Amino acid sequence: MSDSRGLIVVVEDEAAIADIERIYLADAGFGVHLARDGESGLDAIRSLRPVAAVVDIGLPGLDGVELCRRLRAEDDWTPVVFVTARDSEIDRILGFELGADDYVTKPFSARELASRVKALVRRSQVGVRSGALTLGTIVLDPRSRTVAEGGRHLELTATEFDLLAFLMASPGQVFGRNQLLSAVWGLADYRGSRTVDVHVAQLRAKFGEALHLRTIRGVGYAVDRPVAS
């Protein structure tokens, strides 16, 4: 199977689930490296430098949450998709605070997982525009995939970056959650639209008052230009 799309590290201790993930990701054009526990998965991500990692949260020993925490502490922003049996809002928010880019809950469609990994890798590798975007003190460069606020470099996950870039490209325009899911996540229909709200909350936490991210109740979100004082 061709690995032209790049290598995915799958960290999953349940052999049957790992094999299904491997088959569907390989069918999607990825090379796949399987790791059965958190320690070997962390070592594989560090050494193999994959285009993304699919990580089960409930791993024995070093669990998926701690694996992601260690990566981000090392300034490694490899895109991470969590696979979890935990479906509570607390677990979702915790995952995104640690720098996860997306998640799927068990039981899940392996075809959907492969589709979402493809969309995540595509977003992380392709700039949304050729030139830098500036809004107040925020400067976002899609080519280098860097963002700074007031000269201070900020670390964003691939999904946070693409959501911010999409909103900054059309300041003042209101986008519904489904529009954002389609444009940023590449999903035409996704029941868990709450994920948009979680990513918006993370952007607000990282930028504070520098980012004028407005909520339109019952509709969606918009990024506004700051009002001159």
229 residues of the chain, pLDDT tens digit each: 334 578 999 999 999 999 999 999 999 999 999 999 999 999 999 999 898 999 999 998 899 999 999 999 898 889 999 998 876 766 777 777 888 888 888 888 899 899 889 988 887 765 544 578 899 999 999 878 899 999 899 999 888 998 999 999 889 999 988 888 877 876 655 555 678 898 999 999 999 999 999 999 888 999 998 865 4
**80 located within any domain:** yes
Cβ of 186: how many Cβ atoms within 10 Å? 16
Same domain, 17 and 120: yes
Same domain, 145 and 175: yes
Range of the domain at 178: 133-223
Q: What is the pLDDT of residue 71?
A: 93
Count of domains forming the chain: 2
**229 located within any domain:** no
What is the largest distance, in Å, between two alpha-carbon atoms of the chain? Answer: 60
- C-alpha to C-alpha distance for 81 and 41, rounded to whole angstroms: 13
Same domain, 42 and 119: yes
Same domain, 108 and 144: no
Distances (CA, A) of 2 to 16, 17, 27, 32, 196: 22, 21, 9, 10, 33
Task: Tell which of 82, 101, 125 closes a domain.
Answer: 125
**228 located within any domain:** no
Same domain, 183 and 209: yes
Same domain, 109 and 31: yes
Comparing C-alpha atoms, which of 200, 224, 196 is closest to residue 212? 224
CATH number at residue 171: 1.10.10.10
pTM of the model: 0.68
Q: What is the pLDDT of residue 179?
A: 82
Pairing of strands 31-35, 7-11: parallel
Pairing of strands 102-105, 7-11: unpaired
Same domain, 116 and 52: yes
Query: Does the bond joining 107 to the residue before it have cis omega, within 30 degrees of 0?
Result: yes
